[in-house]
Structure 1
Amino acid sequence: MSPQTAAVFRRRLHRWYRRHCRDLPWRRTRDPYRILISELMLQQTQVSRVLDFYARFLDRFPDLPALASARPARVMEAWAGLGYYARARNLHKLAREVTTDRAGVIPHDPVELRTLPGIGAYTAGAVASFAYEKRAALVDTNVARVLHRVFAPDAAPKSGPGLKRLWRIAEDVLPRTGKATWLHNQAIMELGALVCTARSPKCGQCPVRQGCASVDHFAPR
Structure 2
Amino acid sequence: MRDTHEIDFNDELLAWYDRNAREMPWRIGPADRSSGMRPDPYRVWLSEVMLQQTTVAAVRDYFLRFTSRWPTVESLAAAPDEQVMGEWAGLGYYARARNLLKCARVVVESHDGCFPDSHDELLNLPGIGPYTAAAIAAIAFDRPETVLDGNVERVVARLYDIHDPLPGSKPQLKQRAAALTPAVRPGDYAQAVMDLGATVCTPRSPACGICPMRTRCRSQAAGTQADLPRKTPKKPKPTRYGHVYITQTADGAMLLERRPDKGLLGGMLGWPGSEWSDAPSDTAPFASDWRVLPGEVRHTFTHFHLILQVWATSLPPGAAPEDMILLDKHAFRPSDLPTVMRKAFDLWRNQ
Q: 1:76 is matched with which residue: 65, 77, 85?
A: 85
- For residues 29-85 of structure 1, give each alpha carbon's deviation from its aligned partner in whole angstroms, at most 9, with x where no partner exists: 511111101111111221112111111101111111111111111110111121221
Quote the residue 1:176 is aligned against.
183
Please say if 1:58 is aligned against 2:67: yes
Question: After superposition, where does 1:2-151 map in structure 2 within 5 Å?
Answer: 3-28=3-28, 30-151=39-160
Structure in which a larger fraction of residues adopt helix: 1
Contact 2:158–2:225, Cα closer than 8 Å, also in 1: no
- Distance verdict in 2 for CA 1:171–1:165, change over 3 Å: same
In structure 1, the partner of 2:172 is 165
Conserved? CA contact 1:135–1:181, under 8 Å: yes
Please tell me whether residue 197 in structure 1 is matched to residue 202 in structure 2. Answer: yes
Q: Which amino acid aligns with 2:151?
A: N
* Conserved 8 A contact 2:160-2:217: yes
User: Is the Cα contact below 8 Å between 2:161 and 2:225 reproduced in 1?
Assistant: no
Counterpart CA distance in 2 for 1:91 and 1:171 is 28
Per-residue deviation, 1:156 = 2.7
Give unmatched runs, 5+ long, in structure 2: 29-37, 227-351
TM-fit CA distance, 1:91: 0.7
- Counterpart residue identity of residue 27, structure 1: R
Separation (CA, whole Å) in 2 of partners of 1:37 and 1:193: 20
For the 8 Å contact 1:128–1:136, the answer to whether it is kept is: yes
Secondary structure in 1 matching 2:45: helix
1:146·1:188 contact (CA, 8 Å) conserved in 2? yes
Report the Cα offset of residue 155 of structure 1: 3.5
What is the CA–CA distance in structure 2 between the aligned matches of 1:157 and 1:205, rounded to whole Å? 26
2:343 maps to none
CA contact (8 A) 1:155 1:163 kept: no
Q: How far apart, in 1, do the equivalents of 2:214 and 2:53 lie?
A: 27
Larger strand percent: 2
Change (3 A) 1:218 1:150: closer
| 1:187 equivalent in structure 2 | 192
In structure 1, what residue type is equivalent to 2:182? P
Shift of 1:17: 1.3
3-state secondary structure, aligned to 2:93: coil
Deviations 1:145-195 (A, max 9, x none): 101110251333422xx2112111121111123xx1111111100000001
Report the CA distance between 1:218 and its aligned residue.
Answer: 4.1
Distance, in Å, in 1 between the alignment partners of 2:176 and 2:17 is: 20
% identical aligned pairs: 44
Cα separation, 2, equivalents of 1:32 and 1:55: 16
The TM-score normalised by the length of structure 1 is 0.91
Query: Cα offset for 1:196?
Result: 0.8
What amino acid is aligned across from residue 217 of structure 2 in structure 1?
C
User: Could you say which structure has the greater relative contact order, defined with CA pairs below 8 angstroms and 6 or more residues apart?
Assistant: 1
The one-letter code sitting in structure 2 at the alignment partner of 1:209 is R
For structure 1, the residue ranges without an aligned partner over 5 or more in a row are none
Distance 2:6 2:41 in 1: 29
- Paired residues in the alignment total 215
Taking the aligned partners of 1:8 and 1:103, their CA distance within structure 2 comes to 41
Cα RMSD for the two superposed structures = 1.6
TM-score by length of 2: 0.59
